[in-house]
Structure 1
């Protein structure tokens, strides 16, 4: 068997196996064990969960849900939120930030599609909100401190904007006056200043906290192993991710102590809400699941404050609630929020996914089109790998030149395989040829392929990113199909992910199969029937397997195959070997026709 063909089969088969195994068995990291909670934390959780009723049953239609949302919002007095990127409101019941939508993002690309709703009040489907309060210390009870159902009053401000904060106040009637100042920047960051003034005639102690509560799992939960959705937290440089089904029940809730820097919250595919105590502050975080009410909750509890009579104290925390845009997260990280960019799920190959995304992001900043940016990224990757590819293709060309001598060795050795192997090794050494060099470019593509797939799937910059014509979302599968003549006819093809879409593939998977097939034709078909069958089927198997992947990834693969074909053809010609592509194509069809006649 031709050693070059052996290597190509081995490398391609290995690539195929690794792709399948990785996509089936790639496990997420297990959450690390944390210490037991104290009694005050249990009081916080119990107060918040008891005060939050379960989500009411609502009709399933979008119109009915929208009506329920409007009716629920009207049931409590509210402060309007209106910034360049956010719109919503704060409920004076509990001072909850429970109504927030993203002005720049729509649910789909369809005309008139509603903007994305991130936070929703209790009583609506998938209620999701932030609330703040104080846990009572010695001498105080839950009635003495504000909680989830406290009726706050507006002390100053009427609309929360990037330029105008608002202040809420509540007097407990026993000498304690609580205030909460809310401010927001022009992106997605709230600043929450909680203060208490003590006129009780005695010293009091109490601990401020922030809570993110979520009623049930998100309606659009992907449940895809390549993507983490659930709790995400940073504790003094250590990232932790917990899936919804791995969150501990309320009775078993545990707590992590953070000495200086950290944050905790819920991350979705493209959105996130995160509690962020002031950097340099010690605090504790916890995550739990109230299985009775099906409420998921993350808590950040700050250190206990002791306030003497006639004195006051205040604490500042932040709340991020918005889109996981890399530039925005990076800027917040530069401002002191430790490792905030790591809230994007970069995966185990972060050492590749991060630089690949950075490069793609900057190319897009220059070009302004994500499809052409992916092709530009492919060109740069191929340029970086060119020295390796050059050595590989030179080695393959020399292997072709050695074919006559290898055939003589096989004839001379007969059935003595050991003698043949020794002779071939001597020949390789004499001619300075590495038979394994042909595998290296293909093997190098495996981690790059995984990393680019991760980047395209998890980053919001690729969400609904258009290219041209029918390709208006490179994070989604190819929308074209043979059924609509590859997008030329004015109707949609089969729903992506269905059996019909797999069978009636689009133009991009078809081009992928053709590009792989042409790459094969740089070399004559192997004489072994088994090899011939594998080579004949491989492009079309990959065509159907990758047809349901994000179209941006298929664009990368087509560009990669095209550049590889060009490189290999030119390099092999420069070494004296002239690939007969058209002759190999003709020979393949001739052999097929002859086989069919027989």
Structure 2
């Protein structure tokens, strides 16, 4: 086996190995929450807020029997929410934001597809909502403060929109009047301003909190290990991603639960739930210390994240106020980055799952984002990104292809060495290496472009799979969603036969490849034809089957990734062909690469 073939096989084997390791063995790491101090807060006068085990500072959310979403919405009086981006309502029972949908995003690419729904009320399937309240301090009971089932009244505003906030009020009948002013901007950020007015003759102590609750694991959970779905938390610069099954483990051992589920955040942080494309996040004012809580209640099958703010003293005749934010929307990079910069939300863009190769995924996404904004088509942006990546790697590719060309020109001398050495492999290796050294050829140079493509390929796959901007992004023709596989199928001759393609869950889906995967296999085969056919039959068989194996392996990948691969193959083929011609090697696409000298020697 000559060194070039050995290097190519080695690079190919390494590529397969890395793919298998990446997709099968090493999912992205999950950072478990760190132990935090006990939640009991004691002041100089001995007043304490309740410990977690004795009565939650933020009360548990209970689940009721499951009914239709429409029926669940009718259980409480409501205030409508209407903005340019959002539609829904907030419930006066608990003052919950529990009905929210996105006007700019739809479930599928079909016409008249329903809007994507984020929040749903308790009692409905996939109940998911946010609520706020006050925890009682010393001398107060939970009945004296607003909680999850408090019946609020509207004091001002009958519609929550960008231009009209809503003020809710609740009088506990014991001298405390609570108000909640809810406002929303023209995107997806709510501002919650809670206040308590003390008309009693003594000081009271209360602590504001916010809760996001989910009843059960989401039904549309992707459960794909390259994507995090579950609790996400930023605590003074440390990002934690906690899966739902890990949150469930908190409820197994009360001692472990008390140590693991609470984290004291000193200045900058946020906590909430993240889905594939959507997110809800509790965000205190920047610089505000708070306790972040993650928990699961088995009795009600409820996942819950809490933002618990410090206890506040309210003197007689005074009012105290607390403001915080609730982000409830799609993970649009530009908007999340805007909130990070304008509101000072620490590392908010890291709510997007950039993965291990964040140093590649972030610049790749940013390049795609701006190329798409200039070109108006994400598929064209992927092609332009391919050209940009190939241009950046061209100096290395040039050296590699020049080295490969020199090795091809040395092929006749290598054949002579092989014949003269006979069965003495040690002698053959020594003479071949001496030939390489004399001719200044690096046999490993051909592997470098392939090895560099591996992390770029993984990073682009991550970007296409994870980022919202690729969701339902059209290309041309039948590709109307670059984040989904090519919808055509070889099993019905790409739509010419009168039956549809197999369902994605079908056993035949793996062989139901579309036009672009076939183009990828063909372009890979064409590129490999620039390399000589190995003399060993086993090697030759591996090389012949490799493009078609990759074609089926990547056939169900996102079409945007396959389009990248096709154009990468075409550009690589063109570069290699031109460079080899410039080095005196004439590629024979239908056969092998035949050096001029060898062809001339073969002529009579």
| TM-score tier after normalising by the smaller chain length | over 0.9
Residue 9 (str. 1) matches residue 9 (str. 2) = yes
For residues 571 and 88 of structure 1, the distance between their equivalents in structure 2, rounded to whole angstroms, comes to 61
Aligned mate of 2:441, from 427, 430, 433: 433
For residues 490 and 334 of structure 1, the distance between their equivalents in structure 2, rounded to whole angstroms, comes to 54
The 5-angstrom pairing of residues 167-246 of structure 1 reads 167-246=167-246
Residue 375 (str. 1) matches residue 374 (str. 2) = no
* Post-superposition offset of 1:487: 4.0
* Post-superposition offset of 1:459: 0.5
The 5-angstrom pairing of residues 128-527 of structure 1 reads 128-247=128-247, 248-250=249-251, 251=254, 252-253=257-258, 254-335=261-342, 336-487=344-495, 492-527=500-535
What is the SS of the residue equivalent to 2:587? coil
Residue 42 (str. 1) matches residue 49 (str. 2) = no
The 5-angstrom pairing of residues 570-581 of structure 1 reads 570-581=578-589
* Post-superposition offset of 1:583: 3.4
Q: 1:44 to 1:283 in 2, by over 3 A?
A: farther
Partner of 2:47: none
Q: Is the 8 A contact 1:249 1:291 kept in 2?
A: no
TM-score normalised according to structure 2 size: 0.93
Q: Is the 8 A contact 2:268 2:345 kept in 1?
A: yes
* Post-superposition offset of 1:37: 3.6
What is the SS of the residue equivalent to 1:583? coil
For residues 378 and 557 of structure 1, the distance between their equivalents in structure 2, rounded to whole angstroms, comes to 9
For residues 209 and 53 of structure 2, the distance between their equivalents in structure 1, rounded to whole angstroms, comes to 11
For residues 55 and 352 of structure 2, the distance between their equivalents in structure 1, rounded to whole angstroms, comes to 28
1:145-176 CA-to-partner distances (Å, cap 9, x unmatched) read 00001111111111011111111111111111
Unaligned ranges ≥5, structure 2: 41-49, 595-604
TM-score normalised according to structure 1 size: 0.93
For residues 165 and 213 of structure 1, the distance between their equivalents in structure 2, rounded to whole angstroms, comes to 24
* Post-superposition offset of 1:188: 0.3
Q: Which moved more, 1:370-379 or 1:223-232?
A: 370-379
Partner of 1:589: none
Q: 1:55 to 1:539 in 2, by over 3 A?
A: farther
* Post-superposition offset of 1:277: 0.2
Q: Is the 8 A contact 1:101 1:117 kept in 2?
A: yes
For residues 489 and 414 of structure 1, the distance between their equivalents in structure 2, rounded to whole angstroms, comes to 57
* Post-superposition offset of 1:26: 1.7
Q: 1:41 to 1:159 in 2, by over 3 A?
A: farther
* Post-superposition offset of 1:489: 6.2
For residues 417 and 352 of structure 2, the distance between their equivalents in structure 1, rounded to whole angstroms, comes to 56
1:540-584 CA-to-partner distances (Å, cap 9, x unmatched) read 111111111111111111111111111100011111111111234
Q: Is the 8 A contact 1:477 1:496 kept in 2?
A: no
Q: Is the 8 A contact 2:88 2:101 kept in 1?
A: yes
Q: 1:355 to 1:412 in 2, by over 3 A?
A: same
For residues 160 and 491 of structure 1, the distance between their equivalents in structure 2, rounded to whole angstroms, comes to 49
Unaligned ranges ≥5, structure 1: 59-67, 587-598
* Post-superposition offset of 1:464: 1.0
* Post-superposition offset of 1:190: 0.1
The 5-angstrom pairing of residues 511-590 of structure 1 reads 511-584=519-592
For residues 90 and 51 of structure 2, the distance between their equivalents in structure 1, rounded to whole angstroms, comes to 25
Q: 1:444 to 1:45 in 2, by over 3 A?
A: farther
For residues 55 and 128 of structure 2, the distance between their equivalents in structure 1, rounded to whole angstroms, comes to 16
1:320-368 CA-to-partner distances (Å, cap 9, x unmatched) read 0000000000100111111100000000110000000000111111111
What is the SS of the residue equivalent to 1:286? strand
What is the SS of the residue equivalent to 1:313? strand
* Post-superposition offset of 1:33: 2.4
Q: Is the 8 A contact 2:58 2:135 kept in 1?
A: no
1:93-129 CA-to-partner distances (Å, cap 9, x unmatched) read 0100100000001111122211011000011101001
* Post-superposition offset of 1:45: 7.2
Q: Is the 8 A contact 1:76 1:91 kept in 2?
A: yes
Q: Which aligned runs of 4 or more in structure 1 are off by greater than 3 angstroms?
A: 43-50, 248-251, 487-492, 583-586
Partner of 2:101: 101
Q: Is the 8 A contact 2:33 2:263 kept in 1?
A: no
Q: Is the 8 A contact 1:213 1:296 kept in 2?
A: yes
Q: Is the 8 A contact 1:249 1:290 kept in 2?
A: no
* Post-superposition offset of 1:265: 0.1
Partner of 1:63: none
For residues 450 and 55 of structure 1, the distance between their equivalents in structure 2, rounded to whole angstroms, comes to 44
For residues 495 and 476 of structure 1, the distance between their equivalents in structure 2, rounded to whole angstroms, comes to 13
What is the SS of the residue equivalent to 1:42? coil
Q: Is the 8 A contact 1:231 1:265 kept in 2?
A: yes
What is the SS of the residue equivalent to 1:508? helix
Q: Is the 8 A contact 2:530 2:593 kept in 1?
A: no
Q: Compute the RMSD of aligned alpha carbons.
A: 1.7
Aligned length: 576
